[in-house]
Copies of this chain bind each other. A is one copy, B any other.
Amino acid sequence: MHRELYNPSMPAYATNMRLKFPILALTLEIITIILFAVFVVYDDGKHGGHGAHNNATHHEEKTAQNPLTLYPMFQDIHVMIFIGFGFLMTFLKRYGFSSVGLNLLLAAFALQWGLLMQGLWHLDNGKIKVSIFKMINADFSTATVLISFGAVLGKTSPVQLLIMTLLEITIFGINEHLVANVLGANDVGASMIIHAFGAYFGLAVARMLYRPALRNGHENDGSVYHSDLFAMIGTVFLWMFWPSFNSAIAEPGADQLMAVTNTYFSLAACVLSAYAVSSLVEHKGKLDMVHIQNATLAGGVAVGTCADMNIGPFGAMIIGFVAGIVSTLGFKFLTPILASNLGIQDTCGVHNLHGMPGILGGIAGIVAVALGKKDGSAAMQGAALASSLGFALVGGAMTGLIMKLPFLGQPPDQNCFDDSIYWEVPEEEEGEESLAHGDHSMNKAEA
């Protein structure tokens, strides 16, 4: 069985990809192009109709003079989506091609589908007018999929993941419409509708796809030295550009500056607490790369809902500080419990980076609105959080059931976390190594 992991002649079901995957990908893209031909036009700066009073249109009116005002922030967010999420997941030693490659595939489809699924709720004379603002929102919907991808990383086929993308974006569109337009809740940085939603959706999928055989881990479910460095590229780009993520759709001017400021300081405070707690809970006070790669970002998640609220820079720092602690403790103590007791195998620990900090952000938003830091209703904030969690858990569970359908090419247990099942993988440099470190290999069992 061990041999099989690296044997170039893959087991029979892997070969199924040859027709299933291309047919699905081409079909989805052709349908999308047809829907675009029917519904999507360039933004001409003129907006009317019944949607005229929501935030989006308001924002778009402001930028009508220069339609590219938001473009630099859009590109920052684009980097978060494609480099940030993509490389963050390259920490796995043998799954880097899939991490960054499938991230690109899913995101490229998700942003098209997201534009449709969000735009259909706000048609303008029967059309979706593409502005930078709408592209940012399409990138946002993409983020939910990539968060969920983290929960099931290494254990799903590209076909399954495309199905998940299709369904998750659709459900996201409903919840987002409900939260933003029906409930009228604040969630500028999307702690609730992106982070909590994406995390719990992914966890529900992971629960449905539970693999008892991986209860005791998997040989490939770990990093090597350079894969951890690749992952840091993702971490650092996410960390740097998070202020753009949380402020891009804020009201231009003072509110937007406030969102940048709050996020910047929340993240900075979060780094200190994440490092401190990582050292505190680890063997001999050493830092753990898993915590550093992930928990340092929890401050960006948790300050999301409050980002454009008048909570003061120090208020943002307290949120970030707490998020760094909660997230690190989650990685250390909660993830193993979720896996062993609840059957939730969360590959990237999205519960700790997006789930709990997302809920923390939602609660902070309730409190901040109750304290009058922003116009709004604390009850509606609470309803928004509940809605996001409800849609995520129910939607994720349903999606997970669908993904379990046997013909979707789910990889067998022994091929999990291994690129070679879906990718042509080059011969590795190794061979060479077997000489020098012949003795070294004995340490392996200790790892």
Contact = CB atoms under 8 A, between A and B. Distances in A.
A96 B232 CA distance: 10
B313 A261 contact: no
B68 A256 contact: yes
Nearest to A103: B236
Contact of A444 (B112, B284, B432): B432
A94 B26 CA distance: 36
B108 A289 contact: no
A444 B264 CA distance: 39
A13 to B, nearest CB: 10
Interface stretch (A168-176, A182-190, A343-351, A421-429): A421-429
Given A424-B282, A444-B427, A240 B79 contact: yes
A274 B10 CA distance: 23
Interface string A213-237: 0000100001111101110110111
A177 interface: no
B321 A29 contact: yes
A66 interface: yes
A272 B26 contact: yes
Nearest to A3: B439
Nearest to A272: B29
A428 B100 contact: no
A431 B435 contact: yes
Contacts of A67: 253-254, 256-257
A244 interface: yes
Given A2-B436, A112-B317, A430-B431, 13 more contacts: A25-B273, A29-B276, A32-B269, A66-B252, A67-B257, A72-B72, A75-B240, A75-B241, A83-B237, A100-B229, A288-B424, A289-B423, A434-B434
6 contacts: A29-B269, A29-B321, A97-B229, A97-B289, A225-B425, A282-B424
Interface of A: 2-3, 6, 8, 10, 14-19, 21-23, 25-26, 28-29, 32-34, 36-37, 40-45, 66-68, 71-73, 75-76, 78-79, 82-83, 86-87, 90, 93-94, 96-97, 100-101, 104-105, 108-109, 111-112, 130-132, 135, 158, 217, 222-226, 228-230, 232-233, 235-237, 239-241, 244, 252-254, 256-258, 260-261, 264-265, 267-269, 271-273, 275-277, 279-280, 282-289, 292, 296, 310, 312-314, 317-318, 321, 422-444, 446-447
What 10 pairs between A and B have smallest CB-CB spacing?
Answer: A431-B436, A18-B285, A432-B432, A431-B440, A434-B434, A431-B437, A108-B271, A431-B441, A17-B285, A435-B441
